[in-house]
A and B are shown apart, each in its own frame.
Chain A
Amino acid sequence: MLQSVFTSARIDFKGRLVKVEVNIANGFPTFTLVGLPDMVVKESKERIRTALLNSALGFPDRRVTVNLHPTSLKKAGAHMDLAVALGILMAVNGPRATDIGVLGELSLSGEVVAVEGIIPHLSAMKRHGIRRAIIPKDNLTEAMALKDFMVYPVSDVRQAYEVFRQRDKPQGLLCSGQLGSYRGPGQVDSMGPAMDLDVEALIRLEDIQGQGEAKRLAELAVAGGHHLLMMGAPGCGKTMLARAMAALAPPMSYEELMATAEIHGRGLVARRPFRAPHYNVTRTALCGGGGLVKPGEVTLAHLGILYLDEFLEFSREVLEALRYPMEQGEIQISRVNGQLCLPARFTLVASLNPCPCGYHGDAERHCTCQPYQIKRYREKLSGPIIDRFDLQVILKRVAFRELIPGAQEQVSTIEDNGHSSPASETAAAAARIAQARALQRSRFGETGVLNGYMTPPQLKLHCQLDRRTSESLEQAADALGLTARGIHKVLKVSRTIADLSGSEAIQRQHVLEALHYRRIEGEVIQR
């Protein structure tokens, strides 16, 4: 008797609906699994047989043939165990519910074990019109983040079978985007590991002394998704600033949560990704690839921040590979087996020293580099790469007085009288960012596109300048030697500055401020 059950598999980082067909025929007892299963799936035969027998549900002593459809795509993972097991039970015993998806790995005792990253699978089912699913109990909190979906959490295969038979009209739980204790920046989440980022390592804006200009840049970069290039001596606060940006990043919308969960495939990503690969990263690790394609850092940082410290220590090959995703927000991986286009809409934050010894241009320490060393060091920063950074800043070290806690307190007790609490700085910036992001959402929709990734037609539409302002920009482009892309970048940043101040039109002062942020280009190319 032939029966089928729906489950899902992750293929090329997308969940895909998989139909498990089970046929039981007379003949010598065999158990055959076809449809390009990988080793883990093949081994599931043994788990399923043992689990069913240990749960006293019985395993048919006949010819069992299981087909995983679509048959031409390689499927991995043990999360299809439960679906196959239920398919076999149905094929033996009859009645069934066809519109329930099934996910779960089996242990030998018949327990249903949690699946790593259930959201991509459930989203795939949802896309194909399946609105309910049996899931492992341990995956419940994660699944609850989904919207408009019914789940039946189960702990063992017997329970799953009961639900599946629909005998007692089992009660499902309706998911409606509950995020548990996940609330946003600064919050420790209880929904699973805060991936990629140690919450302890977060730094708030008020932890950074001085550097008013740099903080403004951090705000701009986060608000509009602009790539930021920071040049400065060791110890001037580049890394702190990058971490503060992670803390400033607003919570993800529902669509963004689903997108990141799909990419990472390891549960709900609790906060915006912050990826900081070390400079020994290979091009494949950065862009993605491998025999069975894995997402690279650019994709893992999708919708979040990609922080490249010591930018010039990365190999040239790696740096040049960033050019396409920086501009297009996606990365194409071409392999023998085919082409894959993965999302990579990250905000690149890069930091570098001005010279090999790090102190070129420093007010207090003497640079010991030879001019040719500096030249060779900076040559790695190719024109096309610099050009793609919307925001460029040269950071200076802060005077010691501002760093010593005692001195700082004295000043604040005299001047503040306690009426401006230190927490207000991050809060105020976060509020402005939220406002700017809201304006961008109304402009580009819920997909999370930001000003930094505007296409030229969008730019034309959303960055209208009045006559006086465009004259100023023309004049500046001439004086500062801006490229066409440079002008676009200035317009994008002006848009974000206007958004931060809540202004619908881009005003002259917005453009002028944006012009200020293209500085390293001049500094490096002149030399």
Chain B
Amino acid sequence: MRATEEIMSISIGPSSSQAKALQHLLLGAHSEGTREQRAALRRWLMSQPLIKSNSDTAINAANSAVNLDLDPWPEGLTKSLITKGEALTGTLFLQGITWITCIDADYPNRLFLLPDYPLALFVEGDRALLKGLKVSVVGTRQPSYDGEAMCRMLGAYLRGCNVTAVSGLAFGIDAAIHKGMLRYGGSTIAVLPSGLRAITPTSHLKLAGEILASGGLLLSERMPEDFPLKNHYLERNRIIAALSEKVVIVESGVKGGSLNTAMHALQLGCEVYAMPGAIRNPVAVGTNRLIRDGALPLLEPEDLGYIKHSNGGARQVIDAVGSLEGVKAMALPEGIRGRLLAVLGEGGVWQPDFLAERLDKPVFELLPELMALVLDGRAEQMGDGYRLC
């Protein structure tokens, strides 16, 4: 029996249940089907008028698809996939995970840009975020202080503009941007390389919980219990790139997953932003090269060009971003303290030895002053140096 006839043969009963059967078919194919079978389904869907599960188009599509040729489609497969998909919905319901198929209204349209877009997604949290403005922010797992600071500033800015930040819950920049959004009460989406019940890295379980608690969203195309394989990280990157119109690489070395995300973003026609850094900074090499190759430089969050909303969030932005100017505007006190503040005000983390060289003072004369600045809340100690708060 031809597949379409099989689909036709199910169309007994009310239209909504037939649409449900289509959803179950997609879910079943996503979880149990082979790569070829999924490709065949995608081809079939492409040949249809825009199918949405909540309208009659689903039934119309099925009805009008008499001549469809689904190539690797053994007999009885449709039925078995629908059964499997249906069984899966029960399991997912018990696990508290919701799912979205590509014919659902919540499915992000931009994912259709991917030749191998997922037929179904597993999500946990507020799925309305998928329809809002999004920007993807990724970067190295070993960020410098500047990278982390940029993530905080981005958090404040994006919150002010009601834009959702999408990232991958990895170490480093990923975690920093999630935290940055949480810090200012913004919403954030984490796209996982693993299943939703096998969160990786495990040390970010708490962060994932915080994202959910703050009204964010966890998203994955993997089965909930799946641990990530090596290629899953790279495949996850294509979703991060496809979800947003703009992709920001905060810091990246010569190699790294974030450059892979940038490549996907370029293929999908996203605007790619990269934060420039010192030429010898190992985690700025990748981003600097991106800029040379045509990426847009991100010097401050405002470069993203979103419009600030005039609610409370915007004021927080000014507070966070304006702190440096605030310090600079303050009259500098006399003596070593003033000179120290002036040098620290140039930005970055200063090791005591470099400060000593700049101010031409023995290092032990500066240390008490630096510590006094820390106690006064003007500077903070960063392990290997000091910087302004």
Contact = CB atoms under 8 A, between A and B. Distances in A.
Interface of A: 210-213, 216, 360-367, 371-372, 394, 396, 472, 475-476, 479-480, 497, 508-510, 512-513, 515-516, 519-520, 522-523
Interface residues of B, number: 29
Contacts of A512: 367-369, 371-372, 375
Contact of B353 (A212, A515, A520): A212
B351 interface: yes
B282 interface: yes
Interface stretch (B46-54, B122-130, B207-215, B356-364): B356-364
19 contacts: A210-B353, A213-B352, A361-B384, A363-B280, A366-B142, A396-B384, A475-B375, A479-B374, A479-B375, A480-B381, A510-B368, A512-B369, A512-B372, A513-B368, A513-B371, A516-B352, A516-B367, A516-B371, A522-B381
A475 B253 CA distance: 40
Given A210-B353, A396-B353, A367 B370 contact: no
A244 to B, nearest CB: 16
Given A211-B353, A522-B381, A476 B371 contact: yes
Given A512-B375, A519-B381, 7 more contacts: A210-B353, A213-B352, A365-B282, A372-B203, A472-B372, A476-B371, A515-B371
Nearest to A369: B142
Contacts of B362: 212, 216
Contacts of A523: 383
Contact of A367 (B142, B381, B384): B142
Nearest to A371: B171
A374 to B, nearest CB: 9
Nearest to A214: B353
A384 to B, nearest CB: 21
Nearest to B356: A212
Interface of B: 141-142, 171, 201, 203, 253-254, 280-283, 351-353, 356, 362-364, 367-372, 374-375, 381, 383-384
A372 B201 CA distance: 10
B356 A394 contact: no
Nearest to B175: A371
B363 A213 contact: yes
The 5 closest A-B pairs by CB, nearest first: A509-B368, A512-B368, A512-B371, A366-B282, A523-B383
Contacts of B280: 363-364
A418 to B, nearest CB: 19
Contacts of A372: 201, 203
Q: A interface, by DSSP: helix, strand, loop or mixed? A: helix
A211 B142 CA distance: 25
A213 B381 contact: no
A394 B367 contact: no
A479 B371 CA distance: 11
Contacts of A515: 371
Contact of B383 (A210, A212, A394): A394
B117 to A, nearest CB: 31
B281 A363 contact: yes
Contacts of B281: 363
Nearest to A519: B383
Given A365-B282, A366-B253, A371-B141, A394 B384 contact: yes
A213 B203 CA distance: 35
A347 to B, nearest CB: 19
Contacts of A396: 351, 353, 384
Nearest to B363: A212
B2 to A, nearest CB: 51
Q: Which of A210, A364, A509, A523: most chain B Cβ within 10 A? A: A509
A216 B371 contact: no
B51 to A, nearest CB: 44
A371 B368 CA distance: 33
A407 B201 CA distance: 48
Given A366-B282, A396-B353, A522-B383, A513 B364 contact: yes
A305 B75 CA distance: 81
A472 B375 contact: yes
A210 B354 CA distance: 9
Contacts of B370: 516
A344 B363 CA distance: 32
A497 B352 CA distance: 17
A198 to B, nearest CB: 29
B54 to A, nearest CB: 43
Interface hub of B352, B372, B383 (most chain A Cβ within 10 A)? B383
Nearest to B370: A516
A371 to B, nearest CB: 5
Contacts of A510: 368
Nearest to A359: B282
Contacts of B283: 366
Contacts of A365: 282
Contacts of A480: 381
Contacts of A362: 282
A476 B373 CA distance: 11
B157 to A, nearest CB: 26
B386 to A, nearest CB: 9
Contacts of B384: 361, 394, 396, 519
Contacts of A519: 381, 383-384
Contacts of A364: 280, 282
A53 to B, nearest CB: 70
A513 B142 contact: no
A366 to B, nearest CB: 4
A367 B372 CA distance: 33
Contacts of B201: 371-372
A515 B351 CA distance: 16
B164 to A, nearest CB: 26
A430 B43 CA distance: 82
A362 B281 CA distance: 9
B79 to A, nearest CB: 46
Contacts of A210: 353
A519 B384 CA distance: 8
A321 B136 CA distance: 50
Contacts of B352: 212-213, 516
Contacts of A475: 375
Contacts of A508: 368
Contacts of B372: 472, 512
Contacts of B282: 362, 364-366
- Most chain A CB within 10 A, of B203, B281, B367, is at B367
Nearest to A211: B353
Contacts of A367: 142
Contacts of A520: 383
A289 B352 CA distance: 44
A212 B364 CA distance: 9
A213 B353 contact: yes
B356 to A, nearest CB: 5
Q: Which of A362, A371, A519 has the most CB of B within 10 A?
A: A371
